[in-house]
Amino acid sequence: MSTNTEPARRTGGRSAVVLSAIKTAVEELVAERGSERVTIPMVAERAGVNPTSVYRRWGDASTMINDIATYRLDPGRPLPKGDDLRTLLTEWADEIIRHYSDPVHAAILRGGAASAGQSQSDCLRNRRAEAGMLVQQAAPVPGITVERVIDHIVAPIVYRVIFIPDSLDETLAPRLVAELFD
């Protein structure tokens, strides 16, 4: 007879399957219709879940899309390692560019940015945290701060994703990092 009184915890389980289905549904619908036309009932139908499951987690479509934009560039993924800040930032920026070169990821970022309103989006908050980790990890470089990394690397990438996606190419990351260090 077990004396453990704590409830058993499931790793993943049904809620993980439901969340994955919802995220996939959002990606598909944004790719098909654009983020401004995606509604929670549409997502629920596509995911095969009750709309209340979606409303309970996000409350509205804008919040849901913003969260999905953040989810796809997983904040738990490993960041580049090393002590040369220029190399770290180039690898990191290249990863962000490759991610948002996918039209679906770009559409979700556009939807997330539009829904962020006056508050800082989770996506920006996560990129700021990553930049901070990279700046701390590397050998110090005078004048290179997290704010400068955001202004000179992340902001131009996001601008291009939203307004001129054809300008995302393999030369962008090294060029932005070189400009930061000038």
Query: What tens-digit pLDDT sequence spans the chain (182 residues)?
Result: 445 554 444 455 678 888 889 988 998 898 888 878 899 999 999 999 999 999 998 888 888 887 777 665 665 678 899 999 999 999 999 999 998 898 888 888 887 776 666 555 666 778 888 999 999 999 999 999 999 999 999 999 999 998 999 999 999 999 999 999 99
Q: What letter would DSSP give residue 102?
A: S
Residue 2 has a pLDDT of 46
C-beta atoms surrounding 140 within 10 Å: 9
Residue 166 has a pLDDT of 92
Q: How far apart are CA 160 and CA 182, in angstroms?
A: 21
Do residues 114 and 161 make contact, with C-beta atoms less than 8 angstroms apart? no
- Specify the 3-state DSSP secondary structure of 122: helix
Q: How far apart are CA 142 and CA 73, in angstroms?
A: 29
Residue 71 has a pLDDT of 60
What's the pTM?
0.74
Give me the domains of the chain, ranges plus CATH numbers: 14-72 (1.10.10.60), 85-181 (no CATH)
Give me the phi and psi of 41, to 5 degrees please.
-60, -40
Residue 89 has a pLDDT of 98
Q: How far apart are CA 68 and CA 113, in angstroms?
A: 11
Percent helix, strand, coil in the chain, to 5, is 70, 0, 30
Find where tokens 């990279």 sit. Answer: 134
Residue 139 has a pLDDT of 93
C-beta atoms surrounding 90 within 10 Å: 20
Q: How far apart are CA 35 and CA 115, in angstroms?
A: 9
Residue 117 has a pLDDT of 61
Chain CA centroid to CA 173, Å: 17
Q: Which two tokens stand for residue 96?
A: 């962000």
